[in-house]
Every structure is written in C-alpha cells, then in structure tokens.
C-alpha cells in the first residue's frame, strides 16, 4: 500500500460508506411502506358483522408483527438491511484503520523532515 494514496483510499471508503448508508435508508423506507400498507389493512379489517376484526392496539400490533414475518418482500429487505449493516461496520472499521495509518504516516514524515533539518553537533 503506497503511503501517498491514503487520502484517495480514505475518500473511496468514505464514498462506499455513504452509498451503503443511502441504500440502507432506501430499504428502510421500503419496509416502512410495507408496514404502513399492512397497518392499514389491519385497521380496516372487519368481521362479517362489520365490527373491527382487531379491536385494540395490542391485537393490531401483534397482527402486524405476524404479517411482517410472513411478508416475503419485508423478509428479503430485512436480510438485505442486515448485510448492509455488516458492510457499514466493516467500512467504518476500515475507515478508522486508514485514518490511523495516515496519521502515523504523517508523524513519520514530520520526524524525517525534522531530522533532516536538525543542526549537527
């Protein structure tokens, strides 16, 4: 790894991280849309007599959890979000590592410059 490429590497990892986070945000929006659709379906569900099928918040929440579990799109998106979170963690670790290496490189360069310009006794 060439020392002079640290800024470029840091930039690339930062851009990859931003892209991963943007993709995850889009996926979270999609899950929220699915939840909203299911919530409306649950809220509008009626018995044959026309009464609400899920009469209180606890039963509506429970039904939402069950429907989300059984919804293929939501399941796939949640798996994808899990992978995105793992990638985000790896990219953050890589970014910190590169920043640390770059700081050490800069300190080494400063020491070299100082040694070259130090008076000889």
**71, burial (CB in 10 Å: exposed 0-12, middle 13-18, buried 19+):** middle
Q: Rounded distance, CA 19 to CA 13, Å?
A: 10
Residue located via tokens 């020392």: 3
Three-state secondary structure call for residue 46:
strand
Q: What is the pLDDT of residues 13-71, one digit of tens each?
A: 999 999 999 999 999 999 999 999 999 999 999 999 999 999 899 999 999 999 999 99
Q: What is the pTM of this model?
A: 0.76
- Confidence class for position 4, pLDDT limits 50, 70, 90: low
Helical ranges in the chain per DSSP H: 6-44, 57-70, 72-116
> How do the domains of the chain map onto residue ranges?
3-116
Question: Which fold does the domain 3-116 belong to in CATH?
Answer: Helix Hairpins (1.10.287)
Beta carbons within 8 Å of 81's beta carbon, 6+ residues apart: 24, 27, 28, 31
**84, burial (CB in 10 Å: exposed 0-12, middle 13-18, buried 19+):** buried
């Amino acid at each position: 790894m060439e020392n002079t490429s640290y800024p470029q590497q840091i930039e690339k990892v930062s851009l990859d991280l931003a892209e991963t986070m943007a993709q995850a945000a889009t996926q979270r929006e999609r899950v929220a849309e699915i939840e909203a659709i299911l919530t409306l379906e649950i809220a509008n569900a009626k018995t044959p007599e026309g009464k609400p099928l899920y009469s209180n918040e606890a039963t509506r929440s429970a039904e939402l959890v069950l429907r989300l579990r059984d919804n293929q799109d939501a399941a796939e998106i949640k798996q994808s979000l899990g992978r995105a979170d793992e990638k985000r963690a790896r990219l953050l670790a890589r970014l910190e590592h590169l920043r640390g290496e770059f700081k050490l490189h800069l300190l080494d360069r400063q020491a070299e410059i100082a040694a070259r310009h130090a008076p000889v006794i």
